[in-house]
Amino acid sequence: MESFAGELRSMGFPEEVVEEVVQSLADLYVASRIPYACATKGYGGSEGTRRLKYWPYSEVVEKILLQYGYADTSSKYTVYTPHANWYFIALTEKGLPLAREAYKRRLEANLDFAKKHVERHRSLAPLLYFGASFDSAIERAYFYSKPTHEVVDFYFRNVIDAKIGRVPEPPIRQRMYHAARDLWERIEGMYEGERLDVVSAAFQSAASTKTAVEALNEFFSPLHERRLVLLMPKYTSSSVYPEMERWLVPPELLELLEPEAKRLDPAKLRSFVKGYISVLMLALGGAGYTKGQLLKLAEVIVSENKELGLSYDELVEGFRELVEEVSSTAGCISRFNEPGGPESPPFLVLNSEALDNAVREYLEFLASRALSLA
């Protein structure tokens, strides 16, 4: 880093520009790629390009990073949507070692603050450490800044389907291209070898609730002021969602949480995960999974999470008890289909909206438990 900074100084760049470059590299390490400008489209074409808050650095900084090959703003990182073009600056492989060093220096300068901050919020450690979702495109952990109430995310759902042999229905736009069997073969091949990590799934689900998001936002905001974490919009190759901002968290920061998280009482963790599994099976039953598929899921969870000491019978009993509770209190589903075979429904859905609301309520309760585990 000193060698690079020295080169910039030797070329006549003032100290404030050198510092900007270093800080921009640290940001790129946290986020991998950052939207720096957006061109809104109108009926007559582009309505002009505006700079974005996510990239608070000058165009001089961009030119330096690009000419050194540490960053890339080519069209392969532009997201073209019907209403706007979003321009991203992305960290390159060449720039990664320098960016990592820049972030580590930033963290080191704020290490006392970060450690004290984690200590003050130690009750959040299990949720933060075990509940971080992972974006493989940018290789970063993240948490949403607004509640989504996801019982199971897309990745975990696919792992479940691969493990229990459930052939999915292709999305509507894909049905003309992919038969269900073709889609199943793709999913089976991609996910069958993945471990069904129910601990991560439970904490990720808890982190998607209003209860947890309020606590997480409070935790991340002071870290964001020091740019130890960044708040970025969710995006895909075809769209950007500024209303769905995510806290991006580098591994160096998660490492500070690991000791606190791993002090978690195994009995408390086991009880928490059991509660999640019941809600998960309830939600999947409402989504059309058969009784046999849910019972198979219980088998897989026990087999692939042996460290929790769960038994098949207790998972099935917990699910059955939750179905009976929701049936009697909310009336949105039938009682458990005790004599039904593997292809039968585990229960009948009488009111889908009320069932969704009941699942949300159980998730909020799950989040309150997650916040009191440590």
- Predicted pLDDT of residue 41: 82
Contact 40, 82 (CB under 8 A): no
Domains in the chain, ordered, with CATH?
2-109 (1.10.10)
The pLDDT tens digits for 167-208 are 766 555 554 444 555 555 655 566 767 899 999 999 999 999
What does the alpha-carbon distance between residue 108 and residue 119 come to, in Å, rounded to a whole number? 17
| pLDDT (mean) for 147-168 | 89
* 36 token code pair: 């720096």
The letter for the amino acid at 328 is: S
Strand partners, 49: 39
Three-class secondary structure assignment of 201-239: HHHHHHHCCHHHHHHHHHHHHHHHHCCCCEEEEEECCCC
Better pLDDT: 158 or 325: 325
Better pLDDT: 2 or 312: 312
Average pLDDT, the chain: 92
> pLDDT category, 49, cuts 50, 70, 90?
confident
What does the alpha-carbon distance between residue 255 and residue 115 come to, in Å, rounded to a whole number? 11
- Predicted pLDDT of residue 169: 63
- Predicted pLDDT of residue 32: 97
The letter for the amino acid at 249 is: V
Q: Which of 113, 105, 122 is nearest to 257 (CA)?
A: 122
**Burial degree of 268 (CB within 10 A; 0-12, 13-18, 19+):** middle
Whether the per-residue pLDDT at 100 is higher than 90: the answer is yes
| pLDDT (mean) for 254-271 | 93
| pLDDT (mean) for 90-111 | 97
> pLDDT category, 166, cuts 50, 70, 90?
confident
- Predicted pLDDT of residue 177: 47
φ/ψ of 216, rounded to 5, equals -65, -40
* 52 token code pair: 């974005």
What does the alpha-carbon distance between residue 23 and residue 36 come to, in Å, rounded to a whole number? 15
- Predicted pLDDT of residue 155: 86
The pLDDT tens digits for 13-29 are 999 999 999 999 999 99
Query: How many percent of the chain have pLDDT more than 70?
Result: 92
Collapsing DSSP to helix, strand or coil, 47 comes out as strand
Collapsing DSSP to helix, strand or coil, 80 comes out as strand
